[in-house]
Amino acid sequence: MIWNAMPAVLSFWASICSFCLGWKSDVLFDTESYDSIVLKSRSNHSGFCERKTKVTSMDLWSMAAEDVLDDLPVDPIRANYVRRVKNCIFSVAYPTPLTSNIQLVSISEDVLENVLDLDISAVKEDDFLQFVSGRKTILGSVPLAHRYGGHQFGVWAGQLGDGRAHLVGTYINRFGERWELQLKGSGKTPYSRDGDGRAVLRSSIREFLCSEAMHYLGIPTSRAASLVASDDPVWRDQFYNGSLRKEKGAVVLRVAKSWFRIGSLEILTHSGEFELLRRLVDFIIREHFPTINATDPNRVLEFFTQVVFQTANLIALWMSVGFAHGVCNTDNFSLLSITIDYGPFGFMENYDIDYVPNTSDDEGRYKIGNQANIGMFNLNKLRLALNPLMDGRQKQLALQVLESFPDLYYQRFKELFSAKLGFLGETEQDLIIIASFLSLLEDSKTDFTMAFRQLGEITEEELQSLLIPQEHWALHAISHHRDFPEWVNTYLQRLKRNPDDTDYKRRQRMASTNPRYVLRNWMAESAIRKAEMNNFSEVRTLQKILRQPFRKQKIAEMAGYSQQTPAWAKHLKVSCSS
C-alpha cells in the first residue's frame, strides 16, 4: 500500500521535475513642483527616530523622512490620467476618498499598535477615519502609485502597476522597522487602464481577513491595518456572465516591509531601462537584504539566490496549510517572498491537488498542486529580468540556483509535513508516511486541515484501536480505507523513533502546528453576506478567531468552523472580479 501512496507526493514532485524552465495633504499640490512638496512636507515632520512609545493622537503621527523618493525617480507628469509611463518607478497620485456612509468595519489592533505605533485612542479620532478612507494625507507623505509589469497566466502583459492602490507613506516604527503603507481601492491612478480604481466590499473583507489570518498561521504575508466600507457604488459583473451588480466600495489599509514584486523589475528590463533596474535592485538589496554586502560584485546573484530560497519556503508553507493563492502572476509575487495581493484565493477543503480556487482559471494553471511549479516559472522570469546586471559566469550560476529550486522546495515541504505528523528528527521512511497519509485523504475525499488536526488530537492508544470516535470526523472518514490499519501501524512505529517524546508532547506539538481554523470560503462568504446588509459582526468574530487558529475556541465551535462545509456552501465560487 505504501508504494501506492507515492503518487500524492510524486505529483507535487513530478510537476516540478517536468517543468521546463518554464494614500488631501496639508500641502497643495497642483501648482507646485514635486521637489518643493517633498521639502515642505518633510520640514514639518516630527522626528520619528526618537519615538519610543505609542502615539495617542493622529496629530503626532508622521511618515518617515527617508523613503523611496530619495532613491528612486518619479514620473515627471503629475496629472492623474491613464498613460504609459517610462523611466521611473513611481507616479505621484492622490487617493480619491470614499464619500458616502463611510464606516470603519474593523481594525487590526496588533498592526496599529505594534507596527504603526498607534494607540487605540488615536483610532477613535475623525482624522483616523479620514486617513484610512483616502481623504487625509499624513505629514511627511507624498502618495504614490508604483509602476510595474508582469506575466499574467504565463504571458507578458506589459505595464500593469498600482491601478487602485496608493503608497501613502513609509513608516519607521519604535522598533526601527520600516513599513510601507498602502491604501487599496482608493481610486484611479495612471496605471488604472480601464479599471475604476475601486475594490468591492466582498474582496476587501477577504483580503483583510485572510492576510491577518495568514500572519497568525506563521506565514510571511502583507498585513491589514483597517477595513473601511462605504455606500459608494461600484459596479461589477462578479461571474463574468453579463449580470452587472451595484456593490459597495471599500478601502483596506495594508502594510508590508516592501511592495516590490517580480514585475517591478521585469518592466525595467522589458523596456531596456537597465540603469534604473540597477538602481532599484540596489535599493531593494540595501533596504531589505541586510546580509548582502551592497558593494559585492556578486550581489545581484546573491539577491536572486535568497529570493529563490525564500520563495521555495513560502510556497511550501502555503502547501502546509492548503492555501492556494489563485493568481500567481509575476506581478503578484513579492521580491521579499511574502504573500501579497489576495484575490480569488482558497483554502483546500477535501484534499485534492487539482483544487483551483479561482473559477476564472479555466485551465487550472494556478491549481494548488501546481504552485511550486509556477513559483519556479516566476523565478525564471526574475532571473531573466536580472540578466542585464550579471556577467556570463553569474548568469550561469543563476541558472544553477534556479535549478536547485525543486530540491529546496521539496526539502522544506518534507520538513513541514513531518512536523504536521508530529515527527522529531528524520528517518528514511518519513516521506512515504507523509505521501501515504495524503493518499488516504485523497482517496477518501477528506478534509485536509481537520485530518491533520485530529490526528494530533487523538491518543496513540485510540489510534491503535482503529476505532476513531465520530467527533474526529475527518480522521473517522479515512479510517474506513482498507489501507488505514497498515498506515496506522507504520505511523505508530515511526512515532516510537521520536527521541525523548511522549504521546502528550506529540499532541501538544501537533496542536501548535496544525490549525483548527482556516478561512474557508464558506466562512468568508457568510460574513460577506451579512456585511453587505451592514452587519459587520461576523467579520469581527472571524478576525478574532483567526488570531488564534491553533486554539480551540467556544464561539468558533458553536459556529461550526471546525465542522464539515455546510450544504448551502458546497458549490460556492470565487472569481477574479474584485
User: Cα-flanking dihedrals φ and ψ of residue 280, to 5°?
Assistant: -70, -45
d(CA 103, CA 227): 9
Footprint (CB under 6 A) of ligand AMP, residues 314-373: 327, 332, 341, 343
The SS3 of residue 321 is coil
Chosen from Mg ion, ligand AMP, none, partner binding at 180 (C-beta under 5 to 8 Å by type): none
Chosen from Mg ion, ligand AMP, none, partner binding at 169 (C-beta under 5 to 8 Å by type): none
Footprint (CB under 6 A) of ligand AMP, residues 134-173: 160-164
Looking at 192, 226, 306, 521, which residue binds ligand AMP (CB under 6 A)? Answer: 192
Residues 6+ apart with CB under 8 A from 220: 310, 314, 317, 336, 337, 338, 339
Nearer Cβ to ligand AMP (320/332) = 332
Plot region of 381 (φ>0 → left; ψ -120 to 50 → alpha; else → beta): alpha
CB burial of residue 1 (10 Å; 0-12, 13-18, 19+): middle
Which residue's C-alpha cell is 529550486? 405
Residue 467 CB coordination number (10 Å): 9
Nearer Cβ to ligand AMP (162/457) = 162
Examine residue 247 and tell whether it contacts ligand AMP (CB under 6 A). Answer: no
What the block records as the C-alpha cell of 97 is: 476618498
What's the closest the beta carbon of residue 182 comes to Mg ion, in angstroms? 12
Examine residue 197 and tell whether it contacts ligand AMP (CB under 6 A). Answer: yes
What's the closest the beta carbon of residue 210 comes to Mg ion, in angstroms? 14
**Catalytic status, residue 341:** no
Nearer Cβ to ligand AMP (164/383) = 164
Q: Rounded to whole angstroms, what are the CA distances from 260 to 76, 148, 161, 213?
A: 21, 9, 11, 22
What the block records as the C-alpha cell of 74 is: 518619479
Residue nearest to ligand AMP (CB): 195
d(CA 375, CA 23): 31
What the block records as the C-alpha cell of 542 is: 472571524
Examine residue 187 and tell whether it contacts ligand AMP (CB under 6 A). Answer: no
Nearer Cβ to ligand AMP (196/282) = 196
CB burial of residue 161 (10 Å; 0-12, 13-18, 19+): buried
Chosen from ligand AMP, Mg ion, none, partner binding at 198 (C-beta under 5 to 8 Å by type): ligand AMP
State which amino acid sits at residue 64: A
**Which residue out of 117, 331, 341, 447 is catalytically annotated?**
331
Element (H, E) at 363: none
Nearer Cβ to Mg ion (202/412) = 202
State which amino acid sits at residue 124: K
Nearer Cβ to ligand AMP (262/451) = 262
Which among 170, 248, 237, 161 has a CA at the least distance from the CA of 204? 248
Footprint (CB under 6 A) of ligand AMP, residues 103-122: none
Footprint (CB under 6 A) of ligand AMP, residues 58-97: none
Chosen from ligand AMP, Mg ion, none, partner binding at 160 (C-beta under 5 to 8 Å by type): ligand AMP
Footprint (CB under 5 A) of Mg ion, residues 308-337: 332
Nearer Cβ to ligand AMP (91/192) = 192
Looking at 109, 196, 231, 503, which residue binds ligand AMP (CB under 6 A)? Answer: 196
Looking at 341, 349, 361, 525, which residue binds Mg ion (CB under 5 A)? Answer: 341
Residues near ligand AMP (CB under 6 A): 160-164, 191-192, 195-198, 327, 332, 341, 343
Residues near Mg ion (CB under 5 A): 332, 341
Catalytic amino acids?
331
